[in-house]
Structure 1
Amino acid sequence: MGNAFAINLSILVTIAYLANLVYKYVLIVAPGKIKYVVSLLLIFFSAYASMYFGFELGEDVIFDLRFVPLIIAALSYKKPYTIVFVGAGVGLCRLLFGINAASLAGCTNMIILGVVAALLKLWFIRHRTGYSIQAFVFIVIINVVNQLNIAVLGVIPFNFYMVHIVPGTLLMGTALSTGFVFMFRDSQLERRRNQELKETNTLMMRQTEELHKAKIVLEERAKQLMLASQYKSEFLANMSHELRTPLNSIINLAQLISENGTSKDGERDQQADEETALYGEIIYKSGQELLQLINDILDLSKVEAGRLEITQEEISICEIPDLVYLPFELLAQRKGIQFRVHRDESLPKTMYTDGQRVQQILRNLLSNAFKFTSQGEVSLTMRRSEQRDQVRGDWIVFEVQDTGIGIPEDKHHTIFEAFQQADGTISRKYGGTGLGLSISRDLARLLGGFIRMDSKQGLGSTFSLFLPLK
């Protein structure tokens, strides 16, 4: 009998080892329900194998360690009904070896053991008992109840069984089940440590990845700061260039006027008057350019500080084309390009907005259009929003379209940023400070609207100012 029990224990250890391998390499990524079903099948298989290699006392009586898988189930599962199910399942496995008085007694014994184990588990859960105490109680109670059930329900006479068989089977069953339970516990702890180590490694990898992403973000921000610093440096250089040009004109022409203001006899001649008038016109234009530069800088600083005031008033839409047409008509004639203004007749006569800021935005957009267009035409179209605009509500759209050099796609976003242009070098051909579009965008937002751009390099540009009509 001792050899049969030892074989039983070896089988159980082997099955437990194989189960650990299956869990480690196969079931580790499986859903919880699949793990649950597979674990039950392994328990039933280990009980069946224990009975298959058990000690046969007579033709129908089998002594084995089939109750050990039940102890393992009682220690592993949290739900008491699962333990009852395991006891009933192991009992039914006994009937696979033939239905007779001994097998029926063995089946009934396992069902009773399952109920007892479930009741103990329920008591342990309520009292939050530790694993070691649970293991000790399960081993002792299950072994004792198992021996009593066999003595009462089995086919072996009660007195003979209690005197000649119980001392050996109870001692060996308790010792072997104790060794297997703590061997199984050690395997569980090792598996848990491996799982925790794996989770720790996964967490560290995730943290490393997050740190890497954070590093990329910081590097990108540092790059943006560097670019911003570079753009501001270029802006200061451009601004000094733009300021120096009209200032030099004013200084030089003022000097010429002071030197040639009078003739030798103290009377101004006609040629000096003509030169003085020409110099005065140049000085006036240079002063206007300086004033515009200063106004742009002040407007930008006011927008960033939230101090720019918007005056909502009723303005005449019909007057807007006349106000913006005259300043650019002479420029169009001088450059030899066409300048057209078209107003949709369906537009209302008036709207509520800040007329001065609307004109400022349109002047900035038209100024850029003329600056970058050397041939072809520049047009200003005023219309209502349409379905193709993909906007909700009633909007008035001011479209400034040109046939100029266009803007590369990779510069579509940067040109609206302060201090930035499509070409940021000082020696570029067209000049400018790069503030016009930035200010126009911010002013459009303050007016409750926005600016859209459609441009391709070499094919011209279209800038659309959307303002709400209501």
Structure 2
Amino acid sequence: MEYLKIFFVNTSLLITVSYLANLLYKHVISHAPEQAKKISWVALAIFAGWVSSVFGYRLDENVIFDLRFVPLIVSTLAFPQPFLLILVGVGTGLTRLTFGINEAAVAGVLNLSILGFVCAGLSFWVRRSVSSIVNKGLTIILVVNLFNALNIIAFGVIPARDYITDIMPVTFPAGLILSMVFALIIRDFQLELLRNSQIQRANKLLSEQTEELHKNKIVLEERAKQLTLASQYKSEFLANMSHELRTPLNSIINLSQLIEESDASLSMEETSQYGGMIRRSGEDLMLLINDILDLSKVEAGRLDIVKEELNVSEIPELLAMQFEVAALQKGLDFRITLDEDVPPTLHSDPQRVQQILRNLLSNAFKFTSLGSVSLNIRMEERRQRESRQNWVVFDVQDTGIGIAPEKHAIIFEAFRQADATISRKYGGTGLGLSISHDLARLLGGFITMQSQEGEGSKFSLYLPL
């Protein structure tokens, strides 16, 4: 009966240690890294085994019977990792030396070390077996208790016959039953920890999903804002466009009506003058329609680029013919320079290159009332996609009104101008830069801008050599 009393005391102590360990785990260890959790478990298992020995049954001064192997059983189910189980077995065995170094203590160290290696072997089966946790637990309890009895028979200081006939019939079944009871209690603790862990993971997942929904809400609000702004810009564009279209149309209609109703009262000079005004109004109207059509083609991906040999040396002459009159009318100094190292020809779309340069120069003249407008054609070596590449650069520079830094990001957007009052004061639809930006991209190049409000602007078209 003494064995049973001591074993029950052992079980009670192990349950108390487990309960305290459970509290420690929930409030301290659960927040630690995974490695720290494993180290804490090994330390607690060894401590539980030592406590079991402290209150074990002393057959004599040196021989102690206890349930120090029970934490090893629980460890095999909780952390089925061979190295950890060997540590628990050897560590628990070494605690036996704290009660004195003698033959019985050495046998206790050897016994628990062997049980550690046995549990390490069982851990491979625990991880790979599809059996239920109950079957695994019963198998481990039976194997460990059996090996514990065999070790005592083989290495113990008690004569094997005395142990088998007097002690084992009581300690072996008691060890089995109390191991099962303790394992069930620990299983309850584990299930509670598992539920708490699942709740924590669910809360974390819910928090992440809430945060993701909040981010998506912000993105949707931003997109809704952008759509509202786009709608507003298109409304402003339509208002400006109606004015821009009506002006040349009204000129064409009114002048045509004058010529029609004049009979023979108009002189040849007046008729020629009116005809010239009708032609210029028609050209302005054609430019507006072409801009709208080009923009719609670019957005639909249907704008054709026809690359062929472009004579770079002809560009200054062609553009000078188109803009010298505008320069004289506004009293501006207009210069075109071509650096000597620029190659004579370039493989690109001549029509689209000239269209971009006309747009840039038209803007420069439109927004410059004093000073100068210049076009400089030069070469530049520039890094592009982690490799250096030579570019032909067309710099269009003016001394006009300039653009404020906060407006730089929107200046290439369709239907946008740096200021809503610009279209009323200077005219235009705000499509020129957007179309030029898209055309440059289709030609394999890009456009950069340097500008300060009140200090003029510099737009540079880069085309790959």
TM-score w.r.t. the length of structure 2 is 0.90
AA matched with 1:394: N
Aligned residue pairs: how many? 462
Q: Distance in 2 between matches of 1:415 and 1:355?
A: 25
Distance change (3 Å), C-alpha of 1:344 and 1:11: same
3-state SS, counterpart of residue 389 of structure 2: coil
CA apart distance, 1:453: 1.2
Question: Mapping of 1:33-52 within 5 angstroms?
Answer: 33-52=35-54
**Is the Cα–Cα contact under 8 Å of residues 238 and 426 in structure 1 kept in the other structure?**
no
Matched with 2:378 is 383
| Residues 1:309 and 2:304 are matched in the alignment | yes
Q: Distance in 1 between matches of 2:368 and 2:238?
A: 26
3-state SS of the aligned residue for 2:411?
Answer: helix
Residue 417 of structure 1 corresponds to 413
Q: Does 1:351 align with 2:354?
A: no
Partner of residue 214, structure 1: 216
2:375–2:396 contact (8 Å) kept in structure 1: yes
Please, what is the CA RMSD of the aligned residues? Answer: 2.7
Is the contact made by 1:249 and 1:283 (CA closer than 8 Å) also made in structure 2? yes
* Structure 2 counterparts to residues 152-171 of structure 1, below 5 A: 153-158=155-160, 161-162=163-164, 164-171=166-173
Residue 359 and residue 186 in structure 1: after superposition, are their counterparts in 2 closer, same or farther (change >3 A)? Answer: same
Paired residue for 1:430? Answer: 426
Provide the residue aligned with 2:242 in structure 1: 240
Give the match's secondary structure for 2:426: coil
Amino acid at match of 2:353: V
Match of 1:175 in 2: 177
SS at match of 1:416: coil
Match runs of 1:41-440 below 5 Å: 41-80=43-82, 82-124=84-126, 127-147=129-149, 149-150=151-152, 153-158=155-160, 161-162=163-164, 164-263=166-265, 272-386=267-381, 392-424=388-420, 428-440=424-436
TM-score with structure 1 length normalisation? Answer: 0.89
SS for the counterpart of 2:309 is strand
Distance 1:68 1:343, change over 3 A: same
C-alpha distance in 2 between matches for 1:125 and 1:259: 103
**2:374 is matched by which residue type in structure 1?**
S
Decide whether aligned partners of structure 1 residues 310 and 75 sit closer, same or farther in structure 2, where only a CA change above 3 A counts.
closer
> Which amino acid in 2 is paired with 1:276?
T
Where does the alignment leave 5 or more consecutive residues of structure 2 unmatched? none
1:210 CA drift (Å): 1.9
Instruction: Name the structure 1 match of 2:455.
Output: 459
Amino acid at match of 1:417: E
Quick one: distance in 2 between partners of 1:57 and 1:388? Answer: 87
Displacement after TM superposition at 1:346 (Å): 2.4
Distance (Å, rounded) in 2 between the aligned partners of 1:355 and 1:178: 90
Structure 2 letter corresponding to 1:435: L
Cα gap change, 1:75 to 1:298, in 2 (>3 Å): closer
Structure 1, unpaired ranges of 5+: none
Question: What letter is aligned with 2:96?
Answer: R
Counterpart-to-counterpart distance in 1, 2:335 and 2:241:
32
CA-to-aligned-CA distance 1:13-38 (integer Å, 9 cap, x gap): 23222322333333334333332222
Change (3 A) 1:232 1:127: closer
Q: For 1:409 and 1:97, how far apart are their aligned partners in 2?
A: 82
- Whether the 8 Å CA contact 1:234–1:425 is kept in 2: the answer is no
| 1:428 counterpart SS class | helix
Residues 25 and 399 (structure 1), Cα distance of their counterparts in 2 relative to 1, 3 Å cut: same
Deviation at 1:227, TM superposition (A): 2.2
Letter paired with 1:447: L
